[in-house]
Chains A and B, each alone.
Chain A
Amino acid sequence: MTALRRALLIALGALLGGLFREVLTEFLPVAAEDPALIAPALLVVNVSGSLFAGFIRRLCASEERKGRDATRLEATMVVGFCGGYTSYSAFVSSLHEGLAGNQPWVIGLAVATVVLCPIAAAIGMQGSGGYPPRPSHDSAGSSEKAPA
């Protein structure tokens, strides 16, 4: 896969992921006329995105074990969609605003995010056939070993 094709796939996935996140964390709380819902909505987004990323990552590992090329699926769905759907900076921003505004419940949401996201990813992996045979610590964001 060429670098341009990979970038286009990532952009396509991230475009959709970013739109979903924007709707869930910005438009729904505003529509509900309760901006306090933004932080809990972000928790839901980050946890559900981690669950989905775990599911797809394990699926990609299974496909690669069968000799099939899963780099397009991973680029679009894991790096693009899930990466664009979840947001670490929004989490840090929310934590910062919560601490500055003396809202202790935001710390609870932050702890919940840190604990629940990896658990959700593990559950997602189990949902698509169990943990990968080889830990993917060297593959943050991609399973490819070298740039295309």
Chain B
Amino acid sequence: MLLAAGDALSVLAPLAPAVLAPVGTAVGAIVRDWLVRGARARLSRADLGLASAQVAACFVSGLCAGGGAVLIALCVAGFAGGLSTWSSLAVECVGWWRERRWGLIAFHLVGVLGLSFAAFAAGRALGGGAV
């Protein structure tokens, strides 16, 4: 009986990321929404909430990248993947483009990308991975 249960678990083990990553993604998406809505309410700048979510996600991703399969599935593919997003940024870029707000586009597509890259590298260094 126990042997059969052990066999079943070993068969299911490769499927763990498929379960953990979506769960982490759901938590990350809720935190992202909270950051965006918080930035909109306090600073009237929802895009700063989005930027902070992107940078934080990259830091978490770098920090946990050197971990085990479970940590990577839950925190890297899951939480960081859900906390960060390309789709909202892309939609906002269309609005900024229509308003000719080139500074905002440059800030998000170049500045935030640079910050996110640095945050990922810092996370990797802190987490013990190679930079």
Residues of A within 8 A of B (CB): 6-7, 10-19, 21-23, 26-27, 46, 49-50, 52-54, 57, 75, 78-80, 82-93, 95-96, 100, 113-114, 117-118, 120-122, 125, 131-132, 135-142, 144-147
Contact A135–B96 (Cβ < 8 Å): yes
CB contact under 8 A between A14 and B57, given known A7-B30, A92-B116, A93-B76: no
CB contact under 8 A between A52 and B61, given known A83-B29, A89-B80, A142-B33: no
Contact B109–A89 (Cβ < 8 Å): no
Query: What is the distance, in angstroms, from B45's C-beta to the closest C-beta of chain A?
Result: 8
Majority-rule SS of B interface residues: helix
Query: What is the distance, in angstroms, from B92's C-beta to the closest C-beta of chain A?
Result: 5
Contact B17–A83 (Cβ < 8 Å): no
B interface residues, tally (CB under 8 Å) = 65
Contact B37–A144 (Cβ < 8 Å): yes
Contact B85–A88 (Cβ < 8 Å): yes
Nearest CB in chain A to that of B93: its residue: A118
Q: How far is the CA of A95 from the CA of B121 in the complex (A)?
A: 11
> Which B68-100 residues have a C-beta within 8 angstroms of A?
76-78, 80-99
